[in-house]
Structure 1
Amino acid sequence: MSRIVLRHQEKRMIWSASSNYNLQPFKIELEQNVPRMLQQVKETDLLGTFHLAGPDAGITLEQLQSLRSQWLSDFDWNKDQAILNKFHHFTAKIETLAIHFIHEKSDRPDAIPLILNHGWPGSFLEFVPVINDLTQAAKASTGQDVSFDVVVPSLPGFAFSSAPPLNWTIDDTARIFNTLMTKVLGYSEYAVHGTDWGSGVAYSLYDNFNTSVRATHLTMAPFLPATPVQLAEMNITLSAEEQFEEDEAMNWNAQGNGYFIEQTTKPNTLGLALYDNPVGSDPRAGTPPSVIDHNEILKEVSLYVLTKSFLTSIYIYWQNPNGFKSSYTKAHTDAPLLFSAFKYNIAFWPAALLQKVGNLVYYRNHDFGGHFAGLDNPPALISDLREIVVYWK
């Protein structure tokens, strides 16, 4: 059966299947909550003249004051909201949850369905810079034509997706996202991308739904990175570039993951307060091709504030204390696995480790970018995702 005929069948499935899931168009309308948010920001006491420790202790008071000043004077949520509403947003009722997602389709009949999974402290916003380019006709490195039908859901408890039950895991999220792709949208086969907690969702889809997931691309792996001692025991040697990334990852593990530990054990403590966590971006953030500037940070934080989803998003840590596994096990699939490493990500996995967990067919290391690749180096992420077509059998 040709791919074009399959796509026609999928379009019919979308109409018949979605009626069972209360599929509805969705529009972001948070402008009425903005004045109260800004008033809260204005009334916040930033400790007056108290002298805090330097940058080694976390975000500096000067950085926070600068962000606050821009939030009050230059930041325009309504302008950003209007831009976001140019995308096609939807909600669907899957099991007990209302799931929000963007669905942007290519005009090509052979487009590959692709679901992009974000993490924390991100949201669907971190993929906004790559969505339109991915839907456009382009070429992979082999010269093959490629474009995507792009689906970007909000994880349960994030933004406009409803909070899940307390016993909810990333495997549960994978299950309802497979339903979203196959039943609500009618794609019999699709590709997956994931980062941060979204990498756990993506890998669960890769491992557990191997008849529908035909390719997976990750920028993080849901396995604990190996220490230098463990790498040596496995006879894995690193290049100079990889050694830098390993050192950065070990430094983050020693000094940067305090929030991870607290949210895994005491989510209410931080979930009932605001936060800003730009850790894990390239030091060159804000310079092309990165789009991570103060406005982007404020937009992400504002989405959490305006949707009141700080606490419900943080529970993903408490619900998945072993979400990043210590044992490297092979997925139950031979579907291709692609991986992109970015120099300033918070963790690092050499190709030799990733070969232990899947059918690794593509591995590329980028010397620009960090944890939020869709914001920090959009062209690189777009280029690597397009390589999926090379292995799309």
Structure 2
Amino acid sequence: MAVDDAVLDDLAIRLQRTRWPDDVGAGWADGTDVAYLRELVGYWRDRFDWRAAEQRLNRLPQFRAGIDGVGVHFVHERGRGPDPLPLVLTHGWPSTFAEPGALVPMLTDPARFGADPADSFDVVVPSLPGFGFSDRPRGPGTARRLPRLWVRLMSEVLGYRRFAAHGTDIGAFVTNRLALEHPEHVVGVHVGHWAEPDVDTAELTGQERRFVEARVRNAEAEGGYAHVQRTRPQSLAFGLTDSPAGLAGWIVEKWRSWGDCAGDVERRFTKDDLLTTVMIYWVTGTIASSVRLYKEWALASRPHPACPVPPVPPGAGESAPLPAGRRIEPPARLALFLPGGDPPPVSWIERAYARPQVAVMPRGGHFPAMEEPQLLVEDIRAFFRPLRH
């Protein structure tokens, strides 16, 4: 990975000429805080070193493979242990391969971190199509192809007949679908978000009904971004593709809102962390193709089971229930990082999974690979330990 100098020169000009909106003193209440973004853009313009970030990322062994006509970028690091278990890690939005990529050393070489070498993994971290250095899809339909793409990457390209899978956010939706559609390839799944069960509203328990009502309230408070990305991704894409400050404002607000940071985004993420993520979207021009995935899956469009949605693939998360009468059969662990939130009722989870384990993690938010890497890695190791043979 080596970004052309001309891309960085163009970025510098755009940052210098940023046009700023009015600041009515609302702080973060109306979205991204103008004062904070001015500070971040100033750091980006004057101090952030993309070449240093690029060098750090390039320590991960990266490859590309053509699968079903789609160029997929991925990290592949073999484990240093007696019998490493293949593990595919799938990121979400607004994330990139850099987030789960931070776990690679801990998962591949546990002895280096004082853990048991028998817990080593062969780690694969793909970039979702439309994100980062994977190809941008040229038409609709990529979402429903993702489980098959991952199976072909793992089995045909890399030679792993069976493997473990972990994902957060959209990556959890992909991982759940992978287990639903290709259980013969999946040892088990470790996810940060549950699959949505098919349920008649008349069948809801009192606890489930309260859970659904709380989700509706949360969708009103936090779901505006998803509604835009689901309904008008192209309209949004012009501004985010043309303005680096606009792109940073759209992404960084989510890292602050979803991270376990008590309103102080830099309590969990450094400016370099945030800007490395923003830069991967910027230098690849993939913000439009990344948000379009929300339209393909109608993501976050069904806060209540009674809400109608367009036809979408099964198991895609909150937007689409599993097929009637179907559950995810491979062993599954839901490691839920929910700062200030409540998990679904056990009955809700058991509608979707045949063999679930549920753990509400004591700290960490939407980006656990960067917020609580040790906690996440230990949980992954423990879950897959009895599934290795």
Amino acid at match of 2:288: L
More displaced stretch, 359-368 vs 144-153: 359-368
For residues 331 and 380 of structure 1, the distance between their equivalents in structure 2, rounded to whole angstroms, comes to: 31
Unaligned stretches of 5+ residues in structure 1? 1-26
Matched ranges for 1:235-254 at <5 A: 235-236=206-207, 252-254=218-220
Q: 2:221 corresponds to which residue?
A: 255
2:16 matched to 1:42?
Answer: yes
- After the TM superposition, list the runs of 4 or more consecutive aligned residues in structure 1 that deviate by more than 6 angstroms: 245-248
Matched ranges for 1:110-259 at <5 A: 110-137=83-110, 145-223=118-196, 233-236=204-207, 252-259=218-225
For residues 138 and 97 of structure 1, the distance between their equivalents in structure 2, rounded to whole angstroms, comes to: 36
Unaligned stretches of 5+ residues in structure 2? 241-246, 299-311
Q: How many positions carry a matched residue from both structures?
A: 353
2:364 matched to 1:369?
Answer: yes
Q: What whole-Å deviation, never above 9, does each CA across 1:50-77 have from its counterpart, x for those lacking one?
A: 4253422111111111111111122111
Indicate which of 321, 338, 349 corresponds to 1:354: 349
Q: 1:248: how far off?
A: 8.2
Structure 2 contact 191–335 (Cα < 8 Å) conserved: yes
For residues 165 and 56 of structure 2, the distance between their equivalents in structure 1, rounded to whole angstroms, comes to: 25
Q: What whole-Å deviation, never above 9, does each CA across 1:83-137 have from its counterpart, x for those lacking one?
A: 1111100000101111000001112241110001111111101113211101113
Structure 2 vs 1, CA of residues 237 and 174 (structure 1 numbering), >3 Å: closer, same or farther?
A: closer
Structure 1 contact 144–390 (Cα < 8 Å) conserved: no
Q: 1:390: how far off?
A: 2.2
Q: What whole-Å deviation, never above 9, does each CA across 1:245-299 have from its counterpart, x for those lacking one?
A: 9998665422111110011111012122223232211125544xx4x22221111
Structure 2 contact 23–34 (Cα < 8 Å) conserved: no
Q: 1:235: how far off?
A: 4.5
TM-score norm. by structure 1 comes to 0.81
Matched ranges for 1:244-393 at <5 A: 252-272=218-238, 273=240, 274=247, 275-276=250-251, 277-278=254-255, 279-284=257-262, 286-287=266-267, 290=268, 292-321=269-298, 322=312, 323=316, 324-325=318-319, 327=321, 334-344=329-339, 348-387=343-382, 388-393=384-389
More displaced stretch, 313-322 vs 211-220: 313-322
| Secondary structure, counterpart of 1:166 in structure 2 | coil
Amino acid at match of 2:63: F
Q: 1:10 corresponds to which residue?
A: none
Amino acid at match of 2:62: H
Q: 1:325: how far off?
A: 3.7
For residues 375 and 215 of structure 1, the distance between their equivalents in structure 2, rounded to whole angstroms, comes to: 23
2:65 matched to 1:65?
Answer: no
For residues 223 and 144 of structure 2, the distance between their equivalents in structure 1, rounded to whole angstroms, comes to: 23
Structure 1 contact 192–215 (Cα < 8 Å) conserved: yes
Q: 1:355: how far off?
A: 2.0
For residues 6 and 30 of structure 2, the distance between their equivalents in structure 1, rounded to whole angstroms, comes to: 36
Structure 2 vs 1, CA of residues 328 and 46 (structure 1 numbering), >3 Å: closer, same or farther?
A: same
TM-score norm. by structure 2 comes to 0.82
Amino acid at match of 2:229: Q
For residues 59 and 120 of structure 2, the distance between their equivalents in structure 1, rounded to whole angstroms, comes to: 20
CA RMSD in angstroms comes to: 3.0
Higher helix share: 2
Q: 1:346: how far off?
A: 7.8
